[in-house]
Amino acid sequence: MNRVIVIVGPTASGKTNLSIELAKRMNGEIISADSMQIYKYMDIGTAKPTKEEMQDISHYLIDEVLPNEDFNVVRFKELAEKYIDNILENGKQPIVAGGTGLYISSLINNINFSESESDWELREALKKEAEEFGPEYLHKKLQEVDPNSALSIHPNNIKRVIRALEVYYQTQKPISYHNEISRSIPPKYQFVLVGLNMDRQVLYERINKRVDIMIQNGLVDEVKRLVDLGYADSIISMQGIGYKEILEFLRNNITLEQAIDNIKQGTRRYAKRQITWFKRIHGINWFNVDNCGNNINVINEIYEYAKG
């Protein structure tokens, strides 16, 4: 079975640099599993690797769609598998790297989220309920019909709550049932799972520093450009961490200093959620990368494990 290397870990843990280093050593190409790097024009706030940083390594699922285009886990899985097959056909090593837990889980557990078609009328009706009565109201509905999914989906993640309700109303079976059925189908590839672990305080310092660099590199101007291009505040991409806070600043609701602090805090919280998600995934081999940038021994160790 073809091997696919998967690199996971919290934001700012060094996944991008490691994936490029492995790709150079293993004749590899990289597929991003990042739900924000998929969008065009959103470069600084998503920590997207530059052309120079890519070092002539082919990257996929970066700059794939416009900020107002719908992109979801179903499309991710379809495209990721297409690119994996293309990379393998070309005799190269596929490397999946990213921190979006749902994307990673859909791939390695072979979850088929698209078994039921979208019911747009129902979806709009549920959206209106969320707007009128609040997200908790909708989440309680989900608890009644699919308690397992309700446990794993945060009430504020209205999009996923609505999708879970939609699947239940269409099939009279919870989305967790469909997920279990699809998990029972063996995956097409042998996944080699690499997790990057870092002392929490070191990670938070890296996050804070990264946010400061984003501001220095022109994050405010990047958000201004997106606004000038006509992208509304309300679209999903513009509600990403780093973008929504700068929008608040541009709307004169908060100071730039408050926006920066909010980005740092939001990113730290996101990193904590990522760690919790990935720790639940069976089969990840965790490597301590506190000094990964300076420690060639850690990179060599990961390389030896990845190549098998």
pLDDT at residue 263, rounded to an integer: 98
- pLDDT-derived band at 187, boundaries 50, 70, 90: confident
If you average pLDDT over every residue of the chain, what do you get?
A: 91
Q: Which two tokens stand for residue 73?
A: 């886990």
**How would residue 184 be classed by pLDDT, with cut points 50, 70 and 90?**
confident
Structure tokens at 207: 């996050």
Q: Tell me, rounded to whole angstroms, the distance of Cα 163 from its chain centroid.
A: 18
Q: What's the confidence (pLDDT) of residue 201?
A: 95
Query: Quick one: pLDDT at residue 115?
Result: 52
Q: What is the mean pLDDT of residues 170-174?
A: 78
Task: Kindly state the helix (H) or strand (E) to which residue 194 belongs, with its residue range.
Answer: strand 190-197
Length of the chain: 308
Q: 13: annotated binding-site residue?
A: yes
Confidence grade of residue 102 (pLDDT, cut at 50, 70, 90): confident
Helix (H, G, I), strand (E, B) or coil at 30: strand
- Inter-residue contact 110 to 179 (CB < 8 Å): no
67 marked as binding residue: no
Do the annotations mark residue 9 as ligand-binding?
Answer: yes
191-232 residue pLDDT tens: 999 999 999 999 999 999 999 999 999 999 999 999 999 999
Give the Cα separation of 10 and 100 in Å (integer).
9
Higher pLDDT, 165 or 177: 165
Between the CA of residue 269 and those of 103, 232, 306, what are the distances in Å? 19, 25, 29
pLDDT for residue 151 is more than 90? no
12 is in an annotated binding site: yes
Superfamily of domain 3-110+186-307, CATH level 4: P-loop containing nucleotide triphosphate hydrolases (3.40.50.300)
Contact indicator for 96, 33 with CB cutoff of 8 Å: yes
Q: What are the domain boundaries of the chain? A: 3-110+186-307, 120-183
Going by pLDDT thresholds of 50, 70 and 90, the confidence category of residue 160 is confident
CATH of domain 120-183: 1.10.20.140
Q: What is the pLDDT of residue 168?
A: 84
* pLDDT-based confidence at residue 61 (cuts at 50, 70, 90): very high
Q: Find out whether 105 is annotated in a ligand binding site.
A: no
Q: Read off the pLDDT of each residue in 112-140 and give the average, rounded to a whole number.
A: 79
14 annotated among ligand-binding-site residues: yes
Place of tokens 């979850």: 111
Q: What's the burial of 169, exposed, middle or buried (CB within 10 Å: 0-12/13-18/19+)?
A: middle
User: Is 11 annotated as belonging to a binding site?
Assistant: yes
Query: 173: pLDDT confidence band, cut at 50, 70 and 90?
Result: confident
